[in-house]
Every structure is written in C-alpha cells, then in structure tokens.
Structure 1
C-alpha cells in the first residue's frame, strides 16, 4: 500500500518561499498568478494491508515527525 501525504502551511502563516515563486513567475510574464502557497508531498510505501490501521499509523507519523502541527496541516491519500 502507498500513502501520499500532502503537507501545507495553515492559512495566515507567512510563506516566503511561495512569495518568492510568485515574484519569479511575475518577472517571467505570468501576471495572472495572484499568489502561491508552497507545500510538500511525502510518499510512503507501507507493508500494511489494512487501510484503517495504515491511516492511523500514517496520521501518527505526521503528528510526530512529518508535519509541524503548529503551522502546518496535512492530508493523507492511501492507494
């Protein structure tokens, strides 16, 4: 089973990397870009066959290591 975790900054948290990307896009002529928020994608290959257990374990991993719950949110997709 594969888990995909999308980690992104919570609304209201400054995103200097996103602002830099937006500025670069504007400099390249892409004026239609209003703003950019940057995140990260983490893919895990899991040995579990039980989606319920896998989701619970991945949620635990996110809370303990893969995200900063103070400033980041995350979503989990299992395949």
Structure 2
C-alpha cells in the first residue's frame, strides 16, 4: 500500500525559505506571485493491506518523526 504524507508549516509560523523562493521567482520575472509557503512530501510504501491500520501507523510516524507538530501540520493520503 502506498501513501503520501504532506507536511506544511502552520499558519502564523514564519517561513524564511518560502520568502526566499518567493523573491527568487520574482527575480525570474514571475510577477504574479503573491506568496510562497514551502513544505515537504514523503512517499511511503507500507506492507499493510488495511487502510485504517496504515493511516494509524502513518499518523504515529508523523507525530514521532516526520512532522514537528508544534509548528507543522500534516496530511495523509492513501494512494
């Protein structure tokens, strides 16, 4: 079973890397950029056959390692 975990900064948390990307895109002539927030994506293959068990394990993985839940949100998609 495959899953995709997307981790993003919570609203209100400063994102200097996103600001740097935003500035670089503006420097490349992309003037329509209003804001950029960066994040990370994890593609995970699991041996589970039960989607519920897989999602429960992925939530624990996010809470323990993949995301800093103080400043980041995560979303899990079973694909």
Q: Which runs of 5+ in 2 are unaligned?
A: none
Name the TM-score, length of structure 2 as normaliser: 0.98
Give the C-alpha shift of residue 3 in structure 1. 1.0
Q: Which runs of 5+ in 1 are unaligned?
A: none
Name the TM-score, length of structure 1 as normaliser: 0.98
RMSD: 0.5
1:34-73 alignment to 2 at 5 Å? 34-73=34-73
- Aligned twin of 2:2: 2
Give the C-alpha shift of residue 10 in structure 1. 0.2
How many angstroms apart in 2 are the aligned matches of 1:8 and 1:68?
10
| Alignment: residue pair count | 79
